[in-house]
């Protein structure tokens, strides 16, 4: 994505807070402000949800095999069988 320059005037306390929070996160003030705007517009959350949906779709068969359609995993079924067998 192409970048454009944006000049913003804020009071000294706001500027100090932005610098401190950016430094605490290990990023530039520019990146910190960019992330705040992206969060505010919902883009970051939307991107996360899309990535999570793609992941689940890609690995759907693996999850179904491991946990079954009802959400109980193979280990649960094995523990149940062992417990039932121990009662006999």
> What would the pLDDT profile of 12-34 be if each residue is shown by its tens digit?
999 999 999 999 999 999 999 99
So what's the pLDDT on residue 81?
54
Which structure tokens are listed for 43? 């883009």
So what's the pLDDT on residue 77?
53
HEC sequence for 12-61:
HHHHHHHHHHHHHCCCCHHHHHHHHHHHHCCHHHHHHHHHHHHHHHHCHH
Which conformational region is residue 63 in: left (phi greater than 0), alpha (psi within -120 to 50 degrees), or beta? alpha
> What would the pLDDT profile of 59-85 be if each residue is shown by its tens digit?
888 888 888 766 665 555 555 555 555
The residue among 56 and 46 whose pLDDT is bigger is: 56
CA distance 33 to 11: 15
So what's the pLDDT on residue 86?
59
* pLDDT bracket for residue 41 (50, 70, 90): confident
pTM comes to: 0.47
The residue among 61 and 41 whose pLDDT is bigger is: 61
C-beta neighbour count of 32 within 10 angstroms: 19
């Amino acid at each position: 994505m192409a970048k454009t320059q944006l000049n913003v005037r804020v009071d000294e306390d706001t500027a100090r807070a932005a610098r401190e929070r950016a430094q605490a996160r290990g990023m530039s003030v520019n990146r910190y402000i960019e992330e705040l705007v992206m969060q505010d517009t919902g883009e970051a959350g939307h991107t996360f949800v899309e990535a999570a949906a793609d992941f689940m779709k890609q690995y759907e068969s693996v999850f179904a095999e491991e946990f079954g359609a009802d959400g109980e995993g193979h280990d649960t079924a094995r523990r149940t069988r062992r417990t039932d067998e121990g009662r006999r």
